Amino acid sequence: MSEENGECTSRGMQHGPWVWSAYRAYNELLREKMKKRFEAQEGPWMDRVADLLVQIVNARWEGGRKKEKEEEELFDQLEQLLNE
């Protein structure tokens, strides 16, 4: 500890928030880079999965016997995609 203007301060305490911010920025950058890689490699497949999930939810909301068959077919398609 050092004495500065009559107060005891710790060097780490003075710079701690800046160091924490640097680590956080580093991790955010790494996350963004990983997201870009996933988007490039898996994006088209994830788009197909997302489309099917939206169709499944919509079929459930619309309900009815006619929609049960459609919902079954959508779940079969989803199963196929998830096994790719």
Please name every residue paired with 9 in a beta bridge, in sequence order, or none if there are none: 2
Rounded distance between C-alpha atoms, residue 33 and residue 82, angstroms: 24
Enter the tokens of residue 84: 């790719």
Output the pTM of the full model: 0.55
Strand ranges (E), 1-84: 2-4, 7-9
Amino acid, single-letter form, for residue 12: G
Please name the residue that has the structure tokens 């790494």: 30
Mean pLDDT by 10 residues, the chain (84 residues): 49 77 96 96 94 88 71 86 88
Tally of structural domains, the chain = 1
* pLDDT in the model for residue 75: 86
- Which range of residues forms the domain containing residue 70? 2-82
Decide if 68 contacts 53 (C-beta within 8 A): no
